[in-house]
Amino acid sequence: MNDKIYQEVLRLLQNQEKAVLVSIASVRSLAPSETATGILVGPEGRIDGSIGGGEIEERVIEMAKQVLKEGKARRIEIGVSPEEEKRRGMLPGGTLKFYVEPIDRIPRLCVFGAGALAVSLSRIGRLAGFLITVVDYDPAFANRERFPDAEVVLTDNFRNLLDRLAIESSWYLLIATRNHRHDKTVLKQVIYSKVAYIGIIFSRNKQEAFFRRLEAEGIPGDLLRSIHLPAGIPIGAATLKEIAISIIAQIIEIRHNMDR
């Protein structure tokens, strides 16, 4: 989402207005396109954004209005006429694929801990289409200057989280408190939440000892083993940005598997 679309999504959510976000998912083109790749559609039609105008946009808007009625995300595919291919700079015989999702189903990435990794997660997560929440206890780390991509930045502490966060099934939780100091405090509060994903930045060789301590405190072992620890796809990531990419990639994979 670009900045304008992102801010409009936040406004619509705040006002509890219904809309869907349409994103171009695939296009075979001769050259990189400068066409905008996102549009918001409400019950009456286009609200904001563009996917290039023309006949394709009109057809997509009508299909998006149907998705809005259904209330469930859907992938759609549209064949392109030769005239439209030429206008858009597409390869012959191509199709356009779109992902349409109600804005109240847009996933949220909530990062507990506002260290350097969280900065990269916030930026990459926002680019991938997630709403971002960052939670920490120290305003020197968790602030708008460091997290311009976050919708919500909380800086009280890591206690009473469920009273302050309206955690839903479309949330993805990543626990990355500095020096693991508050990992257990956070996990014990959120582990029973019916969320799509819980991941922890933790060394694999410390996993069993960590789980044993939590089992001793009454948390079921099968529930603990549903946690992604260490979080991320094993791509040999070395830098913080690479680690963030591996985590976002894992979350995207889980998200789209759930949509199928």
Task: List the domain range (segments joined by +) for residue 84.
Answer: 3-103
Chain CA centroid to CA 180, Å: 24
Peptide bond connecting 148 to the previous residue in cis, omega within 30 degrees of 0: no
More confident residue, 24 or 154: 154
- Residues 169-174, mean pLDDT to the nearest whole number: 95
Indicate whether 154 and 237 sit together in one domain: yes
Summarised one tens digit per residue, pLDDT across range 87-102 is 666 666 667 889 999 9
More confident residue, 173 or 14: 173
Residues 6 or more apart whose Cβ sits within 8 Å of residue 181? none
**Per-residue confidence band for 46, with pLDDT thresholds at 50, 70 and 90:** very high
Indicate whether 86 and 207 sit together in one domain: no
Residue 34 pLDDT > 60? no
Domains in the chain, number = 2
Indicate whether 178 and 217 sit together in one domain: yes
Q: Which residue has the tokens 């502490």?
A: 157
Give the CATH number, domain containing residue 132.
Answer: 3.40.50.720
| pTM as predicted | 0.85
Please say which residue of 42, 74, 103 terminates a domain. Answer: 103
Indicate whether 57 and 127 sit together in one domain: no
CB contact at 8 A, 134 and 156: no
pLDDT above 70: percentage of residues in the chain: 91
Nearest to 95 by CA among 41, 32, 29, 22: 29
Residue 86 pLDDT > 80? no
Residue 33 pLDDT > 70? no
**First-to-final CA distance of the chain:** 22
Cα–Cα distance measured from residue 9 to residue 50, given in angstroms and rounded to the nearest whole number: 14
Nearest to 26 by CA among 72, 86, 94, 82: 94
Please say which residue of 84, 103, 122 terminates a domain. Answer: 103
CB contact at 8 A, 45 and 62: no
Alpha helix (H) residue ranges in 73-115: 82-88
Indicate whether 87 and 183 sit together in one domain: no
Question: Going by DSSP bridges, is the β-strand pair 74-79/45-50 parallel, antiparallel, or unpaired?
Answer: unpaired
Indicate whether 155 and 232 sit together in one domain: yes
Instruction: Give the pLDDT confidence score for residue 94 in this predicted structure.
Output: 64
Residue 105 pLDDT > 80? yes
Please say which residue of 103, 138, 164 terminates a domain. Answer: 103
Which token pair is 17? 């207005």
Q: Cα separations (Å) of 142 from 62, 85, 166, 167, 231?
A: 41, 46, 19, 20, 21
Residue 50 pLDDT > 80? yes
Alpha helix (H) residue ranges in the chain: 3-14, 54-70, 82-88, 116-127, 161-164, 183-190, 207-216, 221-224, 240-259
Indicate whether 10 and 24 sit together in one domain: yes
Indicate whether 213 and 121 sit together in one domain: yes
pLDDT above 90: percentage of residues in the chain: 65
Instruction: Give the pLDDT confidence score for residue 30 in this predicted structure.
Output: 42
Indicate whether 134 and 229 sit together in one domain: yes
Indicate whether 181 and 230 sit together in one domain: yes
Indicate whether 121 and 89 sit together in one domain: no
Indicate whether 197 and 179 sit together in one domain: yes
